[in-house]
A = this chain, B = another copy of it.
Amino acid sequence: MFMGIVLTGDRPTGKLHLGHYAGSLLSRIELQNEHDQYVMIADLQAMTDSNSDLIKNNILEVMKDYISVGLDPNKTTFLLQSAIPELTELTFHYMNLVTLGRLERNPTVKNEIRQKSYENSLPAGFLCYPVSQAADITAFQADLVPVGNDQIPMIEQTNEIVRKFSSSHGSGAIKEVKAILSKTQRLIGIDGQAKASKSLGNAIILSDSSEEIKRKVFDMYTDPNHIHVKDPGEVEGNVVFEYLDAFYGDKEHLEELKIHYKKGGLGDFALKKLLNQVLQDLIAPIREKRESLNDLDMKDILWKGTQKARVVASNTLSKVRKAIGIDFFNL
């Protein structure tokens, strides 16, 4: 079996939610058994568009989320981006390998620029964050990066930089990476919006209390035309069914429920009661584990992982400096 290096991570701008659980955490729990996995808390990347207090306050929260869902510090290396300055130097060097036009054409960034209404005041750091991502990915010599569909252009950008580097300075220092496409679709918000997100307040947080989960489930957007229990209802776009699809283990029963709902005679209340039970059962052990974790231990795990990761990044940087001819004192 191919045993490779995997890099993945999150911007620490809030606690993680069910969207992260379904979209990336579950697969990381598998990946850590098969590969050498690095999980990066991307605080520098978050700095390109977020407030530093928010970021600082969420670093250990995200660590707790990781450990409480079952990521294992003996199998996964956790690292804090800002504590590895080698990543910023790599970014600096890679900036000579990418044109402004190429950065401006990056579809992911273009889309984000529109969302943030940055058109007239685009921070240079934001435009260049794909270069910083290329630095992160290559620094740890990653073979694989798990991504959603919308992140594929970032992997392409990285590989272009690697190829430009190799053609300009020779190969061997850094290598191209493969995307692992996420199996699950992006989880929608409880309000039916396309994306569950901390900032939109439409996500079920992994550390929500039992009462918060219940409230959010019973607030969920269903079919607005399904008014009486006897009415036929829509399954498509119905948040309760989307969440059952993602988290309910009994797929056979779920198919029956869908048929029943479409025909009429199945009420939202009964469905939400089921989903509530499913999510309570899923999150209870995560919450319990989370409550047993303390800040000092989390900081220690992150510190140790960061030190280990820094050695790798530093080694890559040395190779890069040598290759591009910046090694006057042989540092």
Contact = CB atoms under 8 A, between A and B. Distances in A.
Interface of A: 43-44, 47-48, 52-53, 55-56, 59, 80, 82-83, 85-86, 88-89, 91-93, 95-101, 103, 120-128, 131-132, 299, 303, 306, 321, 324-326, 328-329, 331
A47 B121 contact: no
A292 B240 CA distance: 84
Given A52-B324, A88-B88, A125 B83 contact: no
A262 B163 CA distance: 61
Contacts of A98: 123-124
Contacts of A43: 326, 328
Copies of this chain, tallied across the complex: 2
Contacts of A92: 44, 88, 91-92, 125, 132
A116 B201 CA distance: 50
Contacts of A306: 329
Contact of A80 (B48, B55, B80, B328): B328
B96 A126 contact: yes
B124 A326 contact: no
B47 A324 contact: yes
> Looking at chain A's contact residues, is the secondary structure mostly helix, strand, loop, or mixed?
helix
A128 B325 contact: no
B125 A329 contact: no
A42 to B, nearest CB: 12
Contact of A124 (B47, B89, B100, B329): B100
Nearest to A122: B100
A323 to B, nearest CB: 9
A98 B123 CA distance: 6
The 6 A-B pairs of least Cβ separation, nearest first, read: A52-B325, A95-B125, A96-B125, A88-B92, A88-B89, A82-B326
Contact of A121 (B55, B88, B99): B99
Contacts of A96: 47-48, 123-126
A253 to B, nearest CB: 46
Contact of A101 (B85, B93, B122, B132): B122
A254 B1 CA distance: 84
A124 B120 contact: no
Contacts of A326: 43-44, 47, 52, 82
